[in-house]
Amino acid sequence: MNSPEINRTAIAFQKYRPFESIHRFRRAIRTIALLIILGCAGCGGFFEKRSTEMEAARVLKELREIQAKPQMDNPIPDLYLQPPSRLEIKEGVKVFYFTHHHSADYLAQLVREQMDIQALPHGATNQLILYCGDHSQADAVLAYLEKVDVPPVQVNVDCLILERFGDVTMDWETSVFIENFLGENLTLGEKLATFYEGQSGGKHYAVRNGQLFEIDPAQYPGLHYQPGELIALEPAFPGASLRETERANFGGDFGYWINRGKPGHQVRAVLDVLVSRGYLKILLNPTLETVNGKQATVMIRDYTPVEKVKTGLGGASDAYNITEYVWVEDTLTVTPTVYSDGSVGLATSIKIGSRSKPEGVVQRSIITERSIEIAENRVRPGESLIIGGMRKTEKRSVVRGVPFFKDLPLIGYLFSSKDFEEKGTEIFFILTPSISSGGKPFEVATEDIRRKFEKPTLESAQEWNLLEPFEEGSYRQVIEKRAAELETRRVKAEAQREEALQRLQEEKRHFQTAVEEARKLRQEAMTLQEQAAKAQQEAQQAIEAAAAAEQQQKAQQEQTTDLSEAVQKALDEARLKQAQLQQAQQRAAEAEEKARQEEEAVRQIQGELKQFEQQEKESPPPGPETAPSPSLDN
């Protein structure tokens, strides 16, 4: 027999056997592994779904992230910074000009109109190709472009548009049906009542204004369905439901019904009363950036469904609704003009469309459009200009009823109706132009977007307790307080950023000025380089011309020596010929003197001859003995 001590030892050993626990643990691990293997073999779809969910979560996470581009400061190629170049052609000179601040199309139009020169724009490189007659004309065109192609002024226009709408509507309408009214067989409101007629073939029928039609009993709960029983009653004195059919589904009804289900003695009076108040505010705050003199437009369009009430041949009782789609757009068009005195002229066109403006008792949306056109206004940069303030107030009041009965105290409400509505709208525009300081850096814009889309974070466990039921107000206060603090910090940071942007803009202006001066110096250097090359070419040509002239001079010197000898010989011959000429002249003078003397002698002889002839005429002829014979010596 085992003693009690031995038994207790065995039990204790069995209770505290460590190896048994290890074996159990191993068996459990093997069992779990086997189950996992079986699950993987037969439940692959589950893990596929899980991977799909993980992939979807990863894609959404990546899409929620706002990535910033690592490199945005890519410099412009040096080719586009070169000064204008020229190419001589047969007809003249071609000038290639890279525009700096304006488009090639715009500058080409200016050159064609102002300089009367053929100019072709190259849009892909923003380059002008000019056809000039000579270099002087090319210089004039480049001087003109230097005056015209200057940095334009950029204008920022902040527009604030506010529309307000408010209305108050009150109306009541009365439904009255009285059999035996003021006498036998005199019924009030019979044409507006619907009576149960009976059942035939499992169908229920009713009569209204003498017309038999089928009805659905489920639409008239609580009725006994006795022949001749009143089951429906339209308003005898309708109010706003005349212009809006949906009005009949609103309001609070109170009244009484006597002798219900007793044909010939039923009296039904119902008063439907409705009072409504509403308001609407629409705020638009677009901001536009545009170059001086260029139009900027922002447009928001919605293809909006609009319900319309159509009336059939049966009148108001045969009304139905249809849905039409129309474009509703908000458009702001601004054309700024900056003047030398610092003022900004604004040509503005604004159109505000809306379908949210409630109309009538049922607050049905309608299409509205507010527009304003301004040719030009002058305002100093940073100052606001109110360019429109339109107010409109409408009042409507209509009373309907039975003469005399509608004027009775208290009971007159049962024989009348009233439709009263008062509404007012106001819309105004505020424009604030300013000289733009340029765009924001991409990193700053990205950070602003991230800040707008980030969720509020809870920093302590106590804030989680605020999410408990009935503590939403406290949580909202904490969030609003934190939002106010963050907004204050943001405003301060924005102010600091604006100051930094102004300093950056100033530095940019200085840099732009330096770049412009460098461009001019580079252009002057290129011009001087071209002039130097041209001067060097001219000098080379001059050297060649001088060498040719020197050779020509040597040839001329040799030719001059020969010519000198020839001249000397010619001079000697000329002197000889001159001496001979003098001798000949002397001989000619002697001969001339001798000829003169002979001529004088001839004249003397002719005179004597004339005297002799005269004497012979005057004296008688002598006789032969006495007549003297002429002397031959004389």
Q: What is the pLDDT of residue 131?
A: 92
Q: Tell me the two tokens of residue 548.
A: 């040719």
Q: Are 329 and 337 within 8 A, CB to CB?
A: no
- Average of per-residue pLDDT across 297-319: 70
Q: For residues 242 and 398, what is the distance between their CA atoms, to the nearest angstrom?
A: 11
Q: What is the pLDDT of residue 97?
A: 92
* d(C-alpha 303, C-alpha 426), whole Å: 25
Residue 371 CA: distances (Å) to CA of 161, 314, 352, 393: 11, 39, 6, 18
The model carries a pTM of 0.53
Weakest mean pLDDT among 54-58, 235-239, 270-274, 460-464: 460-464
For 332, phi then psi, to 5°, come to -130, 120
pLDDT in tens, 445-457: 777 777 766 665 5
List phi, psi (to 5°) of 51. Answer: -65, -35
Based on its alpha-carbon atoms, the radius of gyration of the chain, rounded to whole angstroms, reads 61
pLDDT 10s digits, 498-529:
777 777 777 777 777 787 788 778 778 877 88
d(CA 438, CA 156): 9
Kindly indicate the confidence band of residue 632, based on its pLDDT and cuts at 50, 70 and 90.
very low
Beta carbons of 333 and 372 less than 8 angstroms apart: no
More confident: 613 or 33: 613
Q: What is the dihedral of CA 142, 145, 151, 153, to 10 degrees?
A: 170
The band of 68, judged by pLDDT with boundaries at 50, 70 and 90, is low
Whether the pLDDT of residue 627 is over 60: the answer is no
pLDDT per residue as tens digits for the range 386-423: 876 678 788 878 888 888 877 888 777 778 888 888 88
pLDDT for residue 75 is more than 80? no
Q: Which two tokens stand for residue 227?
A: 């022949």
Distance CA 367, CA 324 (A): 12
Asked whether the predicted pLDDT for residue 470 surpasses 50, the reply is: no
Average model confidence (pLDDT) for the chain? 76
What is the distance between the alpha carbons of residues 549 and 552, in angstroms, rounded to a whole number?
A: 5
Check if the beta carbon of residue 224 is closer than 8 Å to that of residue 204.
no
Q: 348-376 b/e with 16+ CB inside 10 Å = b? A: bbbebbbeebbbbbbbbeebbebebebee
Residue 364's pLDDT band (boundaries 50, 70, 90)? low
Q: Each residue of 130-178: pLDDT tens digit? A: 999 898 899 999 999 988 888 888 888 888 888 788 888 888 888 888 8
User: Averaged over 619-628, what is the pLDDT?
Assistant: 53
